[in-house]
């Protein structure tokens, strides 16, 4: 499986520092202020790949510490999923282990007692189907059937994973947030979630001293290629969905990421801004 990544991270126009971080299947990027997205390509082979956006919170030192600790610990998580029989169980166990470590550290470092972070990520895995193809399938369709790729998107908090499908962004994760609850109740529209005065109230996080981590898992199968967007709330809150869909659908990943970053940075940009665009090819 060939992967092209376009990544961007910036503190925005209001925050004094960038407490976001990116995990690119072993490569860690923390506290960056890129002037433009950077591109990296690699071959996954038969091993799963892990890509995550982490959004630190909990105060000046605490958010940075939480983000850094999660990013470093994800190196161990990436190794474990290579042989995990159930990836979802492995990820949830790992996030709870990381949270326990955060709790232990905060017990002797009081300035970190409130440290927490939200995150979203995706595990990519090439899958060879052992099922029989449906009757009447053409040879070309059967070839695609047998080389389907699987992805496991997940999140904790209000970071998101999307899949770009025919110029539409399909959200594969589910926000743990107050505004998501209002949306589910029919009290506000999807677009109103971006600007609601309580949009930053999350109902789940990886947090020192917190309850067991609540993780949402999705799942998707696709054929020969696909594009994923993993992002923090500073991305989806900055642009209307229609505009985010337009730039995410630009065919060349360099142009897509560049225009996405430019459009976001042209707004008030009150939050840190971080995203990963992933193009998957045979």
pLDDT in tens, the chain (282 residues): 889 999 999 999 999 899 999 999 999 999 999 999 999 988 887 788 999 999 998 666 799 999 999 999 999 999 999 989 899 999 999 999 999 999 999 999 988 988 999 999 999 985 544 455 555 555 554 445 555 688 999 999 999 999 998 889 999 999 999 999 999 999 999 889 998 999 989 999 999 998 999 999 999 988 778 999 999 999 999 999 999 999 999 999 999 999 999 999 999 999 999 999 999 987
Neighbouring C-beta atoms of residue 168, cutoff 10 Å: 12
Instruction: Encode burial over 197-221: b for 16+ CB neighbours within 10 A, e otherwise.
Output: eebeebebbbbbeeeebbbbbbebe
Across-strand partners of 124? 49, 151
Domain count, the chain: 1
pLDDT at 67: 96
Q: How far is CA 251 from CA 33, 41, 225, 263, in A?
A: 25, 16, 12, 17
pLDDT at 135: 59
As a whole number of angstroms, the distance between CA 189 and CA 162 comes to: 19
Q: Which domain holds residue 81?
A: 2-281
- Output the CA torsion sign for 229, 232, 235, 237: positive
> Residue 211 carries which DSSP code?
S
- Output the CA torsion sign for 149, 78, 213, 9: negative
pLDDT at 129: 47
pLDDT at 147: 57
Q: What is the pTM of this model?
A: 0.92
CATH number at residue 26: 3.60.40.10
Q: Using alpha carbons, select from 259, 244, 280 the residue that is nearest to residue 167.
A: 244
């Amino acid at each position: 499986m060939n992967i092209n990544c376009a990544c961007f991270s910036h503190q925005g126009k209001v925050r004094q520092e960038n407490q976001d971080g990116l995990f690119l299947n072993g490569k860690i990027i923390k506290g960056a202020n890129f002037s433009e997205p950077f591109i990296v390509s690699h071959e996954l082979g038969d091993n799963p790949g892990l890509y995550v956006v982490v959004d630190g919170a909990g105060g000046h030192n605490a958010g940075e510490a939480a983000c850094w600790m999660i990013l470093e610990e994800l190196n161990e998580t990436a190794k474990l999923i290579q042989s995990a029989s159930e990836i979802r169980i492995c990820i949830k166990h790992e996030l709870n282990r990381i949270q326990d470590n955060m709790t232990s550290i905060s017990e002797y470092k009081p300035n970190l007692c409130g440290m927490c972070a939200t995150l979203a990520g995706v595990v990519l895995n090439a899958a060879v189907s052992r099922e029989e193809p449906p009757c009447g399938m053409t040879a070309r369709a059967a070839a695609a059937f047998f080389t389907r790729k699987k992805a496991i998107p997940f999140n904790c908090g209000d970071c998101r994973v999307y899949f770009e499908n025919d110029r539409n962004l399909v959200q594969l994760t589910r926000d743990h947030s107050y505004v998501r609850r209002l949306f589910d109740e029919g009290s506000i529209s999807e677009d109103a979630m971006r600007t609601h005065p309580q949009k930053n109230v999350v109902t789940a996080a990886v947090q020192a001293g917190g309850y067991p981590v609540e993780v949402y898992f999705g799942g998707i199968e696709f054929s020969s290629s696909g594009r994923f967007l993993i992002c923090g709330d500073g991305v989806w809150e900055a642009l209307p969905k229609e505009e985010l869909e337009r730039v995410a659908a630009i065919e060349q990943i360099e142009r897509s990421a560049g225009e996405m970053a430019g459009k976001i940075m042209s707004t008030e940009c009150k939050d840190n801004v971080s995203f990963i665009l992933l193009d998957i090819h045979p």
